[in-house]
Amino acid sequence: MKLTKFTHACVRLEKDGRVLVLDPGTFSESAEALDGAHAVLITHEHADHIDVAAVVSALEGNAELELFAPEGVAENLRTETPGAASRVHAVKPGTSFEAAGFPVRSFGGQHALIHPHVPVVANIGYLVDENVYHPGDSFIIPDGISVRTLLVPVHAPWNKVSEVVDFVIGVRAPRAFPIHDGLLNSTGLDLVEGHVKRLGARYGTEFAHLSSRESVDV
């Protein structure tokens, strides 16, 4: 499976001629990531994880495109693009389904706490093809499975470095790559990734940097 990272939290997966996109948000090259996609997974409603205009345009321009998201996101998209409503599916945590030929499992259910004054929204983490885990904005560790490729939210208003490292240690995936890095400059990114790489390696995780539009086989 080919994994391509886009800016911030967006990732594109390609296998056997099928394309699955996760979290094409407003910080990302969303239209580029969505081009030719067969399915989209959205973790939650925040704009850095879903560029509504780009997603609506993709749904209206591609009659084969299907989208999976938490109920609130799905309901909003059905209103925005009623002609594609039948291809927009609500997802609950703890379920399994198929998206564009990729087996998917869902985990979690709640966005990490930013501050008690900031409302908590629904968040779904996705395990794709029994391989790649995208947690969205959470550090939920999938239960009952072994993650092979972990996508790590390295920086956010809701996390700190010790929590990032503990997440990597807790999942213990053989390989890990960064996501949610759009708010860091190069100095900050090098610092955080250095901690994750060094400490994760003690527990068997090989963490590697991916730049925007860079691809890797997983």
For residue range 12-48, what is the model confidence (pLDDT) as tens digits? 999 999 999 999 999 999 999 999 999 999 999 999 9
3-state DSSP: the chain helix, strand, coil percent, rounded to 5?
Answer: 25, 30, 45
The answer to whether 8 touches 179, Cβ cutoff 8 Å, is yes
Question: How much is the pLDDT for 182?
Answer: 96
List, for residues 147-192, the tens digit of each pLDDT value: 999 999 999 999 999 999 999 999 999 999 999 999 999 999 999 9
Nearest to 45 by CA among 102, 115, 118: 118
Q: How far apart are CA 15 and CA 100, in angstroms?
A: 10
Are 161 and 195 within 8 A, CB to CB?
yes
DSSP 8-state secondary structure symbol assigned to residue 45: S
pLDDT of res. 121: 96
pLDDT of res. 1: 97
* Spatial distance between the Cα atoms of 178 and 207, rounded to a whole number of angstroms: 8
Between 52-61 and 71-80, two packed helices, what is the crossing angle to 10 degrees? 60
User: Which neighbouring-strand residues pair with 87?
Assistant: none
Q: How confident is the model at residue 131 (pLDDT cuts 50, 70, 90)?
A: very high
- Which DSSP state fits 153? E
pLDDT in tens, 75-118: 999 999 999 999 999 999 999 999 999 999 999 999 999 999 99
Count of Cβ atoms closer than 10 Å to residue 161 Cβ? 15
What torsion do the CA atoms of 50, 56, 57, 60 make, to the nearest 10 degrees? 150
| Span 121-137, average pLDDT | 98
Q: What is the bridge-based pairing of β-strands 122-128 and 102-110? A: antiparallel
